């Protein structure tokens, strides 16, 4: 979870930077690399602890897992 939070922080900062510097290719490449890393980290985390994001952003195995997974502060 800590690694995901670090990547999320960097993604937010890069997102803000790219809002004012949309032609910065290096920042855009870094953003895309971190977005891919976040996707991989989240997939690994969800395999171990269950779905983390609602509204169709995370899949659930059968049976419905939202009621069985730990809360973020319990991980």
Over residues 50-71, the pLDDT tens digits come to: 777 665 555 555 666 555 666 6
Q: Output the pLDDT for position 69.
A: 65
Q: Residue 16: inside a domain, yes or no?
A: yes
> d(Cα 10, Cα 32) in Å, to the nearest integer?
11
Mean pLDDT lowest for which of 34-38, 40-44, 51-55?
51-55
> d(Cα 36, Cα 7) in Å, to the nearest integer?
10
What is the chain's mean pLDDT, rounded? 82
Q: Residue 35: inside a domain, yes or no?
A: yes
**Does residue 75 contact residue 4 with C-beta atoms inside 8 Å?**
no
Please report, for residues 13, 21, 29, the alpha-carbon distance to residue 75 in angstroms, rounded to integers and kept in the order given.
25, 37, 31
Q: Which two tokens stand for residue 36?
A: 């891919």
Q: Residue 42: inside a domain, yes or no?
A: yes
Of 20 and 75, the one with more pLDDT:
20
Residue-number span of the structural domain to which 25 is assigned:
9-49
Q: Residue 1: inside a domain, yes or no?
A: no
pTM assigned to the model: 0.72
Q: Residue 2: inside a domain, yes or no?
A: no
Question: Based on the structure, what is the number of domains in the chain?
Answer: 1
């Amino acid at each position: 979870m800590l690694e995901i939070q670090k990547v999320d922080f960097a993604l937010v900062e890069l997102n803000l930077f790219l809002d004012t510097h949309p032609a910065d290719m290096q920042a855009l490449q870094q953003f895309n690399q971190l977005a891919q890393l976040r996707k991989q980290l989240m997939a690994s985390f969800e395999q171990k602890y269950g779905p983390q994001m609602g509204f169709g952003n995370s899949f659930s195995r059968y049976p419905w897992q939202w009621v069985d997974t730990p809360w973020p502060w319990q991980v």
